[in-house]
Structure 1
């Protein structure tokens, strides 16, 4: 792949690296940022900052690549980083800016040593430095990197150390003046003590000033050993408590039952991507998830805390069992979305089901009484979900940041293995101004 390439539109003016020689008008047809691998899905990242879009992705040669698009001129710049992905859908890429504008990038990790880059100057992708360690401790088996902010706006890096069924969570905080990382917590936040690990969503900062965190426990690399939906919260990411306000020493371990939301057993149908944390109109946490019912069918559930404990209600009565098991990323037969407020005491919970199709269940936020169902809504036009490729099984993937939409196509995850037979052609990574 050329690091910089020519991009043509039906216009008398030539673009070099997406750069107009006259006043830039974002084309309705979008801008092709790159060609990317389409034989498996892995997540990318995009940030809008100071009139630029920053994008990190893997190109068609599987190379981790940074791109910027100047939204005033249309100029595109690229930087290939020394990290190549194979076929593992866990190995997404993520990035964030610190307070001084330095770019931090991490990714391409699934129980491997830390892969981390930092820019040498503010707001640039050029001259990225590969940094071999942050603290140098528990960085040899890293998975699920997440950048987030502390209550004071400081940069935090969160990841799992260890493997599936045997790991714990690490939180580092960045000192801008010293350009060094240190531990935010002197102990793991959640620890399976060698017997299990937590698969988490969050922490997410709510309007109530708390960081909210949900997770399921898993006993082995086999995803069917997920169990026990749990919840915790914190004001400062350091002192943690149950939803009833009971404080705890760290780490949070499986024996601390005050954090249980739904004690679903092993092989009870809890799926680690199938838990979603939302908030009602008062900012109170609501948890949507799916598990097996008493007949062994996958059903949607909602949970909220009341004075006497967690109130849980089944929302569906489907007659289909998705028998998920084993290790590695897999094709999803039941996907769910974050519960969200409609207004007037109503919320909706969206899903995509291999047999039942797609939809949103509308319910009363206090009682979970079902009011009705509607077609699944989207924040962007449906045309961006339409697949262009003729290769069977291809799916569209979209990232929306403000007025801009990043789109590409890829096959579903394949247990983190290369598919057999002919590979699909690389997909176009397209950038649109959609509103």
Structure 2
């Protein structure tokens, strides 16, 4: 394959190129000062067809880290109207080259040249790909020095001027993972010192190559087929529940397309899968319109879907533990159901019934209400008073956004929340403030502060316990997550600005006497939450789970993990950590997706079961591309490696 590719390149360049087996670490094919044409190709910016303006930068990042499968998913139909189509086609060719799809590689290479790529740039990228392949061969044959010479040459050829050492370390991790070879990150760090001097930079080894205190092991991976991925409607973090286990079965649901809501039932004993489609007309162009699942004490599934400040959409299964037959779309009680958003099922426990928490109202004038389900009467019952409300505040109304509700081992129900009122300034900065907390020992009838003082309902910004103050305009994100330790003490994760105005992941916990706060990240890039609709944000909202030893695990996706799903462990009792000491859970980029966790399975078996899908997310949910990607279930096991 190498010889044929070399001959083909030589014919296109009109001169002889060395065959791959003649490339030696003593004669690197890197020329200092080369300017990459991926940065300089002139294109026509005038386009009438909507396109993803972040596609080139995302694809360049995927090339840098060797995410070939994502590059190979670039399709001509998407690229042909893009102003950077020449560069994108060449990167797609590189992805196909590494996956051995030579016919597709040739096709996209021809497209790249037809659309404006020079022969010089084509040669640079494809020769860089040859070095990558030779590096993989050297890894397999334990020729470590040669392997890292080739990987370094790959980066230096394809991205002149980049931080070769840092990107080579990242490429090492990705290629070793793709080969299925197990190396500790500390070993990868040690191998990185084998880079020749001409490819080393002054950059320090990134912190996420530090020796971790835990490992993750894939237990199962199920592909559920392609589904809508034009935004994050299938993977928004506030789906509660997006995937859920009841006895020996696991259930999930997603939008396959705008006419199809698909339900899935998986047998955990043998991984057999059943599906059932509910046909309808679904608004997929608003990522708020996600699907939530619950079940009652008799094992009947309940389903809500497709609303953002609109009429409740609700169905109930007609048989227990089954997905094949459903009621028509019906009301619950008919009261307070005209402006519904964020329906959240709180599952039965300790004799309490299935309960629904939802917003009644809109983003700056809303109330959090509860309904509970009576199986004997097959009817829902409204709680008389909202539990959280800013709808009557004066002179400005507001709304409470809650994080994932958490249920204690004694049946207690815990909520943490932020308040939002009108946007700030001409930029329309999202104005979330303060983190509040409340818990209930009677399934939401009465609520108390962390100091065990009884609230008067509804809880408002006036009487809410603020457990961590956040000032207006601080990029505090709404709807993150909370979990409880074995003593039912809350742990909250979120992000907002640090003292320098950079959004950082943060951890807030209560030890029974006082609240503790710490930063979990050291990001360098600023961004602002502003405008309406679902935003295109470089980091996901974080999620949190806790194990039986009270260790906390933070799950996230974003620029810290090259858009791969990652996990950070906070070890009990101090919950200390090393910045950047996270591990990847899944080796592929997930675009803008957020973590969707089966909490019931984690609580029962300590198996982390996730619903994953690569998603786009156009800013403000405008100008969607009709994109589909595989939606999957991933099961992983977490193991400790050493004491810290």
Q: TM bucket by the smaller chain?
A: 0.7 to 0.9
Matches within 5 A, 1:260-409: 260-273=466-479, 275-280=480-485, 282-305=487-510, 310-314=515-519, 316-339=521-544, 349=554, 351-354=556-559, 370=577, 373-376=580-583, 378=585, 382-383=586-587, 385=588, 406-409=611-614
1:155-234 equivalences under 5 Å are 155-183=354-382, 185-194=383-392, 195-207=397-409, 209-220=411-422, 224-234=430-440
Q: Give the secondary-structure state (helix, strand or coil) at the position aligned to 1:121.
A: coil
8 Å contact from structure 2 (residues 297, 353) kept in 1: yes
1:88 equivalent among 282, 286, 294: 286
* Rg (Cα) greater in structure: 2
1:113–1:139 contact (8 Å) kept in structure 2: yes
Flag structure 2 segments of 5+ consecutive residues without an equivalent: 1-218, 236-241, 602-606, 638-644
- TM-score normalised over the length of structure 2: 0.54
**Please, which of 142, 146, 149 is the counterpart of residue 340 of structure 2?**
142
The match for 2:56 is none
Quote how far apart the aligned CAs of 1:52 are.
4.6
- The structure carrying a bigger helix percent of its residues is 2
Q: Within the alignment, does 1:245 sit opposite 2:447 as a pair?
A: no
Higher strand share: 1
Change (3 A) 1:41 1:62: farther
Structure 1 unmatched runs, 5+: 1-27, 388-392
Change (3 A) 1:136 1:218: same
Instruction: Give the alignment partner of residue 260 of structure 2, picking from 63, 66, 70.
Output: 63
Q: In the aligned structure 2, how far is the partner of 1:304 from the partner of 1:209?
A: 20
Q: Could you tell me how far 1:169 is from its partner in structure 2? A: 0.8
- Seen in structure 2, the aligned counterparts of structure 1 residues 173 and 413 have a Cα distance that, compared at 3 Å, is farther
- Tell me the secondary structure at the aligned position of residue 280 of structure 2: strand
C-alpha change, 1:316 and 1:429, in structure 2 (3 Å) is: closer
For the structure 1 residues 198 and 93, does the alpha-carbon distance in structure 2 shift closer, same or farther, using more than 3 Å as the test? Answer: same
Aligned length: 393
Q: Contact 2:356/2:371 (CA < 8 Å) preserved in 1?
A: yes
d(CA) in 2 for partners of 1:370 and 1:432?
26
Q: 138-147 or 204-213, which moves further after superposition?
A: 204-213
**1:58 CA displacement:** 1.0
| Contact 2:556/2:595, CA 8 A, preserved across alignment | no
Map of 2:615 onto structure 1: 410
Worse-superposed segment, 66-75 or 328-337: 66-75
TM-score by length of structure 1 reads: 0.77
**Counterpart Cα distance in 2 of 1:208 and 1:303:** 22
Instruction: Classify 1:342/1:109 alpha carbon distance in 2 versus 1 (closer, same or farther; 3 Å).
Output: closer
Q: RMSD of the alignment, in Å?
A: 3.6
CA distance in 2: counterparts of 1:49 and 1:280, whole angstroms: 22
Residue of structure 2 equivalent to 1:22: none
Change (3 A) 1:432 1:252: closer
The verdict on how the C-alpha distance between 1:133 and 1:268 changes in structure 2, with shifts beyond 3 A counting, is same
